[in-house]
């Protein structure tokens, strides 16, 4: 759309040049731009020298400085006032005008014949800087068009764009504001010799100092002939050649006007100018208050524009307590350029609760953006709609967006009309139309001409749009639109390549990797040298984001019946081909560190990487991190947590963090597959035994999330639930009488005592741990890597274990403030809470048949909460505080609850109103949870006076026994130890009682008081020397901080000595007391400690 065609839609602002002149004249002495370097030095460690803010800049006495909120300025920063910028713009504009329309300039370096056109195209070769801002404003003031030339682009690409655009001039810097420019034009001989257009370089300090004369040429808006476009930006093209988009000034003004109306800036707001000039969004960043640095916290940034992948990369920094200042300063976060995934958005809403977060959609052809969605409304939207990503929302002011197709207006291709649409594609000396879209008369629309985007969307009931994707082979990488055909064409131009095909692949569900499949000449060099040659080739011709992360060689490409490349078949074969996935399972330390360094250097495209070199400090980003993740087979979060080769090596050697194997539990790698001690993996029904299957190879997994139930959880005392879709689990049989040993796999500091027991949840292929502590924190931790997924601050300390709803959507936990919280599984946000009148120390129990959560309180009441409607439907007074979790016998539809007053109450829960069946006085307080023997309906209860009592379903006492000390923890029963109930006592012993009679089967003394419950490993089984006997592992934690793993016979056999039935298998001492009950799954123990940490302990076999 030409500017003349859209004049009737022109906003109140006449032109950008006039608007800047008005702003600069209004506040000439106010700081406009800071070239930031001082805080960089502070961040680097020179705090003593640079800690004081600068006071050497002067504001006009006539200005009320007290009313102005000034950004912080550090020693080493370079400040420019609006008067400085205005003076520089006038001087540079004057020079440009004389070069383009008058006599030669003394600084002009001529290389060939001059080419003039209206508007004339002027290239700007520099990075985001004050010089770039001055250059853009100067070119606009002259009435010409600017073309960003990113210095990071390959030389051949820059020369190609200069040739295609027939640029009249290239502007660059002689030296930067900081005095150290890496892209000085006067030193770039190749551009001078091959650029085929004049070159002008300038120094910002010189043009500011120079006395400016009034400009004698007209303002752009007063010109007799309006320019058809004011900037030229090249994007990747599906034809294999970049396309030059001609953007209009009216489009820029419309976008700026919308933002100012909807989200007006406030006095003193600071904007971050950090986006690459090759990306359309950079124009929105600096056409206001600008700041050219990336230190959000140091300069208290108020408004930030970013692509989602950048925000995902800096989330670990935002989670740091030191970044709390960002939450208070960042007022507006604008996300655009990529699909915004729900998980990232929810994380940002959690981390930045006071920030307005926008998700914008658009492209270079529509001035960057044409729709928006306010992400703070996402929780309300997801209550009514099942979303695949964050909506792209509604049209901006003066933008018309319609859906076209067979299912329109509810679903279809996005067409955009209005002043936001570019004037066309540049094809010197003409403009060619954009992909004009025809809109049928049946579809209600406001305009005649629309841009056909190629993107598809669905309209939500609210009228907002949900992005669905594209049907062509255009993808977004780090916010940049990339036509894969252009990469393929570049690869095919290599002399050793016969053919090539490129695929895009997701890593961790969100990050795109580009994967090249290459058919090489028979006479070409070996794969390693050709890979290096191809990387150098594409690096010299394409921008960094277009470089394939993987290059695979193949004899031929699969073809369709029409002779075209079959990309679907190629993608399927690639998934099966693991030739480039590195197996680190059997590597020793020295070899592994070299592999990590090699992968780092390949990803960063540098020759050498030091063992202590930070991946991201060396230029790594989310794309290169995804490459490392894929090559090493690790989760990306592990790289963000351990960004150096040495730290990542330590993490890999101490943690099973592989994506490919995702080794949740593993045998020692030293075990020989031919040994008589080899492990065997077998599938069994969850409550039955099966014969062993064939032997595993060395290093095979004992138990992995893939082999676990797709949805299941594990809690203290062997409480577990398996999803209905998968009722099978892995078991392992290990022969021999070897000893075991334990080591810390990971630990997480929660800031205060961790007395609560962990809740471990398996969801899909991931494992998560939920636990709270005394400092009111409740966290979700990735069970494999130990990386904190989210953290929530509750109103009171947490000592009880959490529970999880049957659909795994919410975690339920109580606190000392008396609240019972329903917390979102994915992001930690509190969906709802219920207030009791006393501390909540009891673990909630989920009753999925009735959609209820049962939970007791120290206010002497048991509450039944409907988790579908978020309301309490029943309250049972129990005559004492409730510490332990109630127990439900679903067969008899009865619930049992005990109190510290010494009473056990039975409640019939068939239907409302619930009915009390009986109440039994036990004669001593009950602190532990109750347990039900489902074979006969008996209830097992531990009393503080050391008594263990079993009650019948009608409330009568079946049997009683005494231990040697107080019993504070509940009983533990498991199908792995049939007919046994395990009791831990403060006398320092663990007892095994026969469940039907109360007879002692065995007793083992560890020598330290025990106040938590034991846990039986149901996934590992040892064969013993005694015929017909097999052993199980039991985890017990002493209060003094020792973790014991015992090996015990699974059945009581007559004639076997009691002392031979149980023995110590492994032990690990922590440096703090343990009141937390452990959870043990296969070879891992999860437990909290009073040294402020929660631990994951690895159990290995010698």
Q: Output the 3-class SS for 784-846.
A: CCCCEEEEEECCCCCCCCCEECCCCCEEEEECCCCEEEEEECCCCCEEEEEECCCCCCCCCEE
Across the range 186-198, mean pLDDT stands at 74
Higher-scoring residue by pLDDT: 36, 871: 871
Across the range 974-992, mean pLDDT stands at 92
Higher-scoring residue by pLDDT: 510, 273: 273
Higher-scoring residue by pLDDT: 37, 131: 131
Across the range 505-511, mean pLDDT stands at 58
Weakest mean pLDDT among 10-19, 64-73, 662-671: 662-671
Nearest C-alpha neighbor of 640 from the set 653, 624, 655: 624
Higher-scoring residue by pLDDT: 623, 423: 423
Confidence of residue 729 (pLDDT cuts 50, 70, 90): very low
- CA 6 to chain CA mean position, Å: 42
What span, in angstroms and rounded, lies between the C-alpha atoms of 31 and 72?
11
Res 606 pLDDT > 60: yes
Higher-scoring residue by pLDDT: 126, 386: 126
Weakest mean pLDDT among 699-703, 706-710, 990-994: 699-703
Domain spans of the chain, in order of start: 4-228, 249-472, 480-576, 710-758+974-1102, 886-928+930-969
What span, in angstroms and rounded, lies between the C-alpha atoms of 179 and 78?
10
pLDDT digits (tens, 9 = 90+) for 234-259: 887 655 578 889 998 888 888 888 88
Question: What predicted TM-score, i.e. pTM, was given to this entire model?
Answer: 0.50
Nearest C-alpha neighbor of 805 from the set 837, 842, 850: 850
Res 12 pLDDT > 60: no
The predicted pLDDT at position 736 comes to 60
Token pair 């799954």 is found at: 1081
Res 694 pLDDT > 70: no
The predicted pLDDT at position 989 comes to 94
Confidence of residue 1052 (pLDDT cuts 50, 70, 90): low
The predicted pLDDT at position 665 comes to 30
The predicted pLDDT at position 105 comes to 58
Strand partners, 680: 695, 733
Res 886 pLDDT > 80: yes
Helix (H), strand (E), coil (C) string for 146-215? EEEECCCCCHHHHHHHHHHHCCCEEEEEEECCCCCCCCCHHHCHHHHHHCCCCEEEEEHHHHHHCCCCCC
Confidence of residue 479 (pLDDT cuts 50, 70, 90): low
Confidence of residue 635 (pLDDT cuts 50, 70, 90): low
Which of 76-80, 396-400, 731-735, 1033-1037: highest mean pLDDT?
1033-1037
pLDDT cut 90: percent of the chain above it: 32
Nearest C-alpha neighbor of 201 from the set 112, 290, 106, 121: 106
Domain 886-928+930-969 bears CATH identifier 2.40.10.480: yes
Across the range 663-672, mean pLDDT stands at 30
| CATH match for 480-576 among 2.40.10.10, 3.30.300.30, 3.40.30.10, 3.40.50.2300 | 3.30.300.30
The predicted pLDDT at position 637 comes to 67
| CATH match for 4-228 among 1.10.1660.10, 3.30.70.660, 3.30.930.10, 3.40.50.980 | 3.40.50.980
Res 706 pLDDT > 50: no
The CATH architecture one would assign to domain 710-758+974-1102 is Beta Barrel (2.40)
- Judge whether 703 and 721 are in contact, CB under 8 Å: no
Which of 3-7, 223-227, 576-580, 641-645: highest mean pLDDT?
641-645
Listed in sequence order, the DSSP H helices in 365-441 are 378-384
Res 700 pLDDT > 50: no
CA separation, residue 53 to residues 56, 179, 298, 300 (Å): 9, 21, 11, 14
CA separation, residue 138 to residues 86, 109, 134, 286, 913 (Å): 9, 19, 6, 14, 79
- CA 988 to chain CA mean position, Å: 45
The predicted pLDDT at position 523 comes to 72
Confidence of residue 1085 (pLDDT cuts 50, 70, 90): very high
> How is 678-703 classified by DSSP, letter by letter?
--EEEEEETTS-----SBPPTT-EEE
Fold adopted by 249-472 = Rossmann fold (3.40.50)
The predicted pLDDT at position 300 comes to 64
The predicted pLDDT at position 222 comes to 76
- Average pLDDT of the chain to the nearest whole number: 78
Strand partners, 246: 232, 424
Nearest C-alpha neighbor of 933 from the set 892, 901, 966: 892
The predicted pLDDT at position 216 comes to 74
Confidence of residue 1037 (pLDDT cuts 50, 70, 90): very high
Show Cβ contacts of residue 1089 under 8 Å, excluding neighbours closer than 6 positions. 754, 1041, 1070, 1072, 1073, 1074, 1076, 1095
Torsions phi, psi for 190 (to 5 deg): -60, -35
What span, in angstroms and rounded, lies between the C-alpha atoms of 83 and 30?
8
Is there a shared CATH topology between the 249-472 domain and the 710-758+974-1102 domain? no
Listed in sequence order, the DSSP H helices in 400-466 are none
- Judge whether 125 and 171 are in contact, CB under 8 Å: yes
Weakest mean pLDDT among 319-323, 591-595, 839-843: 319-323
The predicted pLDDT at position 51 comes to 37
The predicted pLDDT at position 481 comes to 75
Res 58 pLDDT > 50: no
Across the range 166-190, mean pLDDT stands at 69
Confidence of residue 805 (pLDDT cuts 50, 70, 90): very high
Weakest mean pLDDT among 146-160, 304-318, 381-395, 805-819: 304-318
What span, in angstroms and rounded, lies between the C-alpha atoms of 36 and 873?
59
The predicted pLDDT at position 681 comes to 28
Across the range 690-700, mean pLDDT stands at 33
Nearest C-alpha neighbor of 631 from the set 557, 706, 550: 550
Confidence of residue 579 (pLDDT cuts 50, 70, 90): very low
Weakest mean pLDDT among 263-277, 576-590, 974-988: 576-590
CA separation, residue 970 to residues 321, 671, 1046 (Å): 37, 37, 19
Confidence of residue 431 (pLDDT cuts 50, 70, 90): confident
Higher-scoring residue by pLDDT: 925, 174: 925
The predicted pLDDT at position 210 comes to 74
Confidence of residue 1071 (pLDDT cuts 50, 70, 90): very high
Weakest mean pLDDT among 5-19, 546-560, 600-614, 920-934: 5-19
């Amino acid at each position: 759309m030409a500017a003349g065609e859209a004049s009737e839609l022109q906003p109140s602002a006449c032109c950008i040049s006039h608007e800047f002149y008005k702003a600069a004249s209004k506040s000439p002495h106010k700081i406009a731009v800071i070239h930031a370097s001082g805080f960089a030095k502070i961040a680097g460690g020179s705090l003593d020298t640079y800690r004081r803010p600068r006071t050497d800049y002067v504001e006009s006495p006539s200005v009320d400085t007290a009313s102005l909120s000034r950004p912080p300025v550090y020693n080493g920063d370079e400040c420019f006032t609006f008067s400085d910028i205005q003076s520089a713009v006038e001087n540079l504009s004057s020079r440009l005008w004389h070069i383009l329309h008058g006599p030669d300039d003394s600084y002009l370096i001529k290389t060939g014949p001059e080419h003039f056109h209206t508007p004339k195209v002027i290239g700007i070769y520099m990075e985001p800087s004050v010089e770039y801002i001055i250059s853009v404003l100067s070119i606009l003031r002259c009435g010409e068009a600017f073309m960003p030339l990113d210095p990071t682009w390959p030389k051949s690409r820059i020369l190609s764009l200069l040739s295609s655009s027939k640029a009249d001039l290239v502007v660059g810097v002689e030296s930067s504001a900081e005095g150290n420019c890496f892209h000085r034009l006067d030193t770039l001989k190749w551009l001078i010799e091959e650029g085929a257009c004049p070159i002008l370089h300038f120094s910002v300090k010189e043009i500011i100092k120079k006395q400016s004369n009034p400009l004698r040429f007209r303002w752009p808006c007063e010109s007799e002939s309006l320019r058809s476009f004011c900037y030229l930006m090249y994007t990747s093209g599906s034809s294999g050649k970049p396309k030059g988009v001609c953007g209009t000034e009216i489009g820029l003004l419309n976008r700026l006007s919308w933002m100012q109306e909807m989200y007006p800036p406030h006095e003193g707001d600071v904007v971050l100018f950090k986006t690459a000039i090759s990306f359309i969004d950079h124009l929105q960043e600096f056409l206001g208050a600008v700041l050219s640095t990336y230190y959000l916290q140091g300069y208290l940034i108020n408004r930030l524009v970013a692509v989602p992948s950048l925000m995902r990369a800096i989330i670990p920094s935002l989670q740091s307590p030191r970044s709390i200042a960002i939450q208070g300063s960042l007022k507006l976060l604008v996300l655009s350029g990529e699909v915004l995934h729900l998980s990232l958005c929810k994380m940002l809403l959690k981390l930045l609760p006071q920030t307005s977060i926008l998700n914008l959609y658009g492209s270079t052809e529509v001035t960057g953006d044409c729709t928006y969605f306010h992400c703070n409304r996402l929780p309300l939207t997801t209550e009514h709609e099942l979303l695949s990503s964050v909506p792209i929302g509604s049209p901006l002011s003066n933008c018309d967006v319609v859906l076209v197709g067979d299912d329109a207006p509810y679903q279809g291709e996005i067409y955009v009309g209005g002043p936001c649409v570019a004037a066309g594609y540049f094809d010197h000396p003409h403009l060619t139309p954009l992909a004009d879209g025809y809109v049928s008369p049946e579809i209600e629309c406001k305009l005649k001409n629309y841009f056909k985007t190629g993107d598809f969307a669905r309209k939500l009931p609210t009228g907002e749009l949900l992005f669905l994707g594209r049907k062509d082979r255009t993808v977004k990488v780090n916010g940049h639109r990339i036509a894969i055909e252009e990469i393929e064409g570049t690869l095919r131009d290599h002399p050793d390549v016969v053919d090539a095909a490129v695929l895009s692949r997701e890593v961790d569900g969100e990050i795109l990797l580009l994967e090249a499949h290459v058919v090489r000449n028979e006479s070409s060099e070996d794969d390693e040298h050709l890979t290096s040659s191809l990387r150098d080739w594409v690096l010299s011709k394409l921008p960094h984001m277009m470089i394939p992360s993987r290059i695979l060689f193949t004899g031929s490409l699969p073809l369709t019946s029409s002779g075209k490349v079959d990309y679907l078949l190629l993608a399927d074969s690639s998934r099966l081909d693991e030739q480039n996935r590195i197996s680190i399972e059997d590597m020793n330390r020295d070899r592994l560190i070299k592999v990590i360094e090699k992968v780092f250097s390949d990803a960063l495209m540098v020759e050498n990487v030091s063992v202590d070199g930070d991946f991201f400090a060396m230029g790594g980003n989310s794309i290169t991190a995804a490459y490392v993740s894929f090559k090493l087979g690790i989760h990306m979060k592990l790289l963000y947590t351990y960004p150096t080769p040495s730290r990542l090596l330590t993490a890999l050697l101490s943690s099973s963090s592989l994506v490919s194997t995702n080794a949740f539990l593993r045998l020692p790698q030293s075990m020989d597959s031919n040994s008589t001690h080899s492990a065997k993996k077998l599938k069994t029904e969850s409550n039955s035994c099966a014969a062993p299957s064939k032997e595993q190879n060395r290093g095979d997994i004992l138990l992995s999330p893939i082999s676990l139930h797709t949805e299941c959880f594990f809690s203290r005392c062997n409480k577990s639930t398996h999803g209905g879709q998968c009722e099978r689990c892995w078991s392992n049989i290990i022969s021999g009488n070897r000893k075991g040993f334990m080591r810390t796999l990971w630990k997480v500091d929660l800031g205060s005592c961790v007395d609560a027991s962990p809740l471990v949840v398996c969801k899909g292929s991931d494992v998560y741990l939920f636990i709270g502590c005394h400092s009111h924190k409740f966290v979700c931790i990735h069970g494999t890597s130990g990386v904190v997924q989210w953290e929530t601050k509750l109103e009171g300390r947490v000592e009880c274990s959490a529970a999880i709803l049957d659909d795994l959507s919410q975690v339920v936990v109580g606190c000392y403030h008396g609240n019972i919280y329903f917390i979102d599984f994915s992001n930690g946000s509190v969906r709802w809470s219920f207030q009791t009148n006393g501390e909540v120390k009891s673990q909630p129990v989920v009753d999925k048949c009735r959609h209820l959560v049962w939970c007791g309180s120290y206010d002497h009441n048991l509450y039944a909460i409907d988790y579908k409607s978020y309301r309490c439907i029943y309250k049972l007074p129990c005559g004492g505080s409730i510490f332990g979790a109630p127990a439900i016998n679903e067969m008899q539809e009865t619930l049992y609850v005990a109190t510290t007053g010494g009473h056990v109450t039975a409640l019939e829960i068939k239907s409302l109103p619930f009915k009390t069946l009986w109440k039994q006085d036990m004669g001593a307080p009950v602190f532990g949870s109750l347990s039900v023997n489902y074979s006969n309906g008996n209830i097992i209860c531990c009393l503080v006076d050391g008594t263990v009592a079993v009650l019948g379903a009608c409330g009568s006492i079946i049997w009683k026994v005494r231990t040697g000390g107080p019993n504070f923890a509940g009983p533990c029963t498991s199908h792995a130890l049939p007919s046994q109930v395990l009791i831990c006592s403060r006398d320092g012993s663990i007892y095994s009682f026969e469940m039907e009679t109360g007879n002692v089967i065995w007793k083992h003394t560890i020598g330290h008081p025990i106040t938590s419950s034991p846990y039986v490993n149901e996934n590992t089984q040892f064969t013993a020397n005694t015929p017909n006997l097999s052993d199980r592992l039991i985890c017990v934690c002493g209060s003094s901080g020792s973790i014991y793993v015992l090996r015990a016979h699974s059945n009581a056999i007559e004639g076997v000595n009691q002392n031979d039935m149980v023995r110590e298998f492994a032990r690990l001492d922590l440096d703090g007391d343990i009141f937390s009950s452990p959870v043990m799954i296969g070879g891992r123990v999860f437990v909290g400690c009073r040294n402020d940490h929660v631990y994951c302990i690895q159990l290995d076999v010698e």
